A and B are shown apart, each in its own frame.
Chain A
């Protein structure tokens, strides 16, 4: 018995440390694709500090570091999770399951320079890993200025494992059942934005409002920082969407164009709406509209024309402009509008993909309702189905996780810490010394 255990242990260690990946690329790896995917990986990585700044500027000055840390810490949590288990559960096929991957890539065992498509498998793993880092980080914006950091670390790890991996497998893996039903999600409308947006809604309601929410003003402390974050997000989104082509050719180029146009249209329509209805065009509105446009185009980026992307962006900006007001109406504290922008914008984008997708852009895609006015309802139905499933799955698992963490570590900091601002009590630092 002991011998068998020892043998297993030694075997496990040898898998982790001894097996050396092949150093030479196999035939089938395309240099241009590989270059673009390395750049794309780095671009998506930059979105994470970008998100941290986007959120941080909207926080209050005694909380800015704690808010930045919610996003930035995901690099340290999810990168290791991805190495240990996340990649294998998302992209393995060991379980022959349409819902979850397998254990064959634990510790990145066997993830080497052999081709996966036209790029090295290890590069594919890295590119996909960036998505796994940013998705839970997005949720943080809903629960700022009150969540315990230790609980957040645990939440990110568990959410990344129990929500992200199955959704990723179902939507993107060749065996995934949503993919095989015919649903389209080019760069993460369901996997990234709807999942994080719905989870943000559930977690922010479960954890409750900030103690002084609605009693004292909580305006953003520095919108310049928020705009720097927006710029990094927009820049990185080219890698997020155009990189999701996994190649460097025409499909990636179209995705890059529609991503940019949708972001611009979202900026335009949000600012136009607030200028008209609230009398002033604001920089926070411009930043929010651009992000809304980027969110909305994400599932559609590989399937729609530039003209369609402008419609998607215009609708994204204006719908999210109204979307961020839902919390005021229902009285929950989704502090930085993660649900209002990523949840609502993601759902809108997924549904609009069912209208505007066309095989003229991507033969591997399918035709939406508006394709030649003869695309049919099938894709739209599948899009709505995928949205519904993502909403239910992410919402229910997040609720269970919130309950479990509440009962063990507790979710909230003390009222005294909240009143002081979390930077000093939680992290021992202050952003500003004046």
Chain B
């Protein structure tokens, strides 16, 4: 069984999270620059005195596929490395993955992660 872990984090926390995951011997991940809002809402920007409410704030989305047994430890390590304690620290979503295929070799399942 494989799981996908999607973590939306503050951009400047990316290196800390990557390091923490490497310590768990997770060496593959995909990241995307994303924008969004949750409880943090947006912020205001000021140009020539005109105030703009910017609703979507920049975040980084990390996607990792792991075998089910590793999920808890990965979540723990992301939470501890990405947390600042202030609003806007982000969220983690976990879902099931049906199949993984390594394109180069055609390997399937956990061996392909």
Stretch at the interface among B2-10, B40-48, B59-67, B97-105: B40-48
Task: Mark each residue of chain B from 65 to 86: 1 if its CB lies under 8 Å from any CB of chain A, else 0.
Answer: 0000000000000000000000
Shortest CB–CB separation between residue A378 and chain B, in angstroms?
37
Shortest CB–CB separation between residue B12 and chain A, in angstroms?
20
A284 lies within 8 A of B48 (CB) = yes
B46 lies within 8 A of A217 (CB) = no
B49 lies within 8 A of A219 (CB) = no
A324 lies within 8 A of B52 (CB) = no
User: Given the complex of chains A and B, what is the CA–CA distance between A280 and B47 in angstroms?
Assistant: 11
5 cross-chain CB contacts under 8 A: A217-B45, A219-B45, A278-B49, A280-B46, A324-B49
Q: Which interface residue of B45, B49, B53 has the most chain A CB atoms within 10 A?
A: B49
- For A328, what are the chain B residues with a Cβ–Cβ distance below 8 Å? 49-50
A219 lies within 8 A of B48 (CB) = no
Interface size on A, residues (CB 8 A): 17
* Majority-rule SS of B interface residues: strand
Shortest CB–CB separation between residue B72 and chain A, in angstroms?
37
Shortest CB–CB separation between residue B57 and chain A, in angstroms?
12
Residue of B nearest to A273 (CB): B49
A220 CB contact (under 8 Å) in B47, B49, B53:
B47
Task: Mark each residue of chain B from 24 to 46: 1 if its CB lies under 8 Å from any CB of chain A, else 0.
Answer: 00000000000000000000011
Residue of B nearest to A336 (CB): B48
Within 8 Å of chain B (Cβ to Cβ): is A288? Answer: yes
User: Given the complex of chains A and B, what is the CA–CA distance between A218 and B45 in angstroms?
Assistant: 10
Within 8 Å of chain B (Cβ to Cβ): is A293? Answer: no
B49 CB contact (under 8 Å) in A58, A217, A218, A321:
A321
Question: Can you name 7 extra interface pairs (CB under 8 A) apart from A219-B47, A274-B49, A328-B50?
Answer: A58-B47, A218-B52, A219-B45, A219-B52, A278-B49, A284-B48, A324-B49
B52 lies within 8 A of A288 (CB) = no
- For B110, what are the chain A residues with a Cβ–Cβ distance below 8 Å? none
- For A285, what are the chain B residues with a Cβ–Cβ distance below 8 Å? 48
- For A278, what are the chain B residues with a Cβ–Cβ distance below 8 Å? 46, 49
Q: Which interface residue of B48, B49, B50, B52 has the most chain A CB atoms within 10 A?
A: B48
B47 lies within 8 A of A282 (CB) = yes
User: Given the complex of chains A and B, what is the CA–CA distance between A288 and B54 in angstroms?
Assistant: 22
